[in-house]
Amino acid sequence: MLLAIDCGNTNTVFAVYDGDDKRCEWRAASKSGRTADEMGVWLTQLMQMKGFGPEAITDAIIASVVPAAVFELRLLCHRYFSAPPLVVGEPDVDLGLDVLMDRPEEVGADRLVNAVAAYKSYGGPLIVLDFGTATTFDVVDAAGNYCGGVIAPGVNLSLEALHMAAAQLPRVAIGRPKSVIGKATVPAMRSGIYLGYVAMIEGLSARICEEFGSPMTVVATGGLASLFTEATDVIHHLDNDLTLRGLLEIHRRNAAAHAHT
């Protein structure tokens, strides 16, 4: 079985695949300083609760946007699963796409993995809209190549900044407002954040398509994707498993290549 690890700025997701079948998935906060042993004890116990042990893991793959976490995640795979991992972004890992950027090495691993999965599932050209710590728009052309994108502050980041910088503004939960015009502080903030992001999604998607020169399929993923998908018809597909499926596809591509060498 394959252990797929998606390490983001906020959360790290661990998923176990048996072929195409996702057997289980667990999420932990991406705390700096967490050691391989801490993760190993936690993860192996969770696996045993699902009825299998660490010896069932034969392969591993890691995508991380937190460079400092990669060493411990790699050690986790070696020490607890005897499975040397593929690490997305390293030169020997074939993604099956070209990164058409001025500085390809700066593109986050999660954005490339999402591009791989979205192109396989929906074809191109497309925009992958990821609601993570940052809200990102990634552009994939008709040949499946990564062409660049847009990075904006994430929804929760914006809410927290608003609360921290303005003494009279409270923390509010993100949610769809009943009206655009808020009659009190909290409804006004909720409207500004929620409908402001809807307007950004619609506006940036339109501008990307105009600059690219053709209509594009828009695929949304990430924690808050479902909340915004219901508010606009600009988003064509909601796909919360995108990153994990991308890791599965990249592992499969590289395993097949090694099998032929």
For residue range 126-146, list pLDDT tens digits in order. 999 999 888 999 999 999 999
Distance CA 156, CA 187 (A): 16
For the cut 80, the answer to whether the pLDDT of residue 122 exceeds it is yes
Highest mean pLDDT among 31-35, 101-105, 147-151: 147-151
Check the annotation: does 109 bind a ligand. yes
**The amino acid at 110:** D
Per the omega criterion (within 30 degrees of 0), is the bond before 125 cis? yes
Residue 126 domain-assigned (yes or no): yes
> Is position 95 within any domain?
no
Q: Let me know if residue 39 belongs to a domain.
A: yes
How far apart, in whole angstroms, are the C-alpha atoms of residue 159 and residue 173?
A: 8
Q: Is 110 a catalytic residue?
A: yes
User: From CA 239, how far away is CA 75, in angstroms rounded?
Assistant: 30
Residue 21 lies in a domain: yes
SS3 state of residue 213: coil
State whether 82 and 108 are in the same domain: no
172 and 229 assigned to the same domain: yes
- Can you tell me the distance from the alpha carbon of 190 to that of 117, in angstroms, rounded to the nearest whole number? 32
Instruction: Assign 73 a pLDDT band (cuts: 50, 70, 90).
Output: very high
Mean pLDDT over 203-218 rounds to 97
Q: Please report whether residue 98 resides in a domain.
A: no
Instruction: Kindly state whether residues 110 and 222 are assigned to the same domain.
Output: yes
Average pLDDT over residues 224-236: 93
- Residue 261's pLDDT is 55
Which among 110, 138, 141, 239 is annotated as catalytic? 110
CA gap 242, 88 in Å, rounded:
15
Range scoring the smallest mean pLDDT among 40-44, 87-91, 202-206, 255-259: 255-259
Please report whether residue 234 resides in a domain: yes
Is 133 annotated in a binding site? The answer is yes
Count the domains in the chain. 2
User: Does 110 count as an annotated binding residue?
Assistant: yes
What is the average pLDDT across 175-197?
A: 90
* Cα 144–chain centre separation: 18
202 found inside a domain: yes
For 74, the domain range is 2-87
Question: Which amino acid is located at 19 in the chain?
Answer: G
Q: 82 and 130 in one domain?
A: no
Q: Is 13 annotated as a binding residue?
A: yes
pTM comes to 0.89
Domain boundary among 59, 87, 115: 87
On whether 11 is known to bind a ligand per the annotation, the reply is yes
Residue 10 annotated in ligand binding: yes
Return the pLDDT at 259: 67
pLDDT at 207: 97
- Computed over every residue of the chain, the mean pLDDT equals 92
pLDDT confidence tier of residue 186, bands split at 50, 70 and 90: confident
Arithmetic mean of pLDDT, 158-179: 80
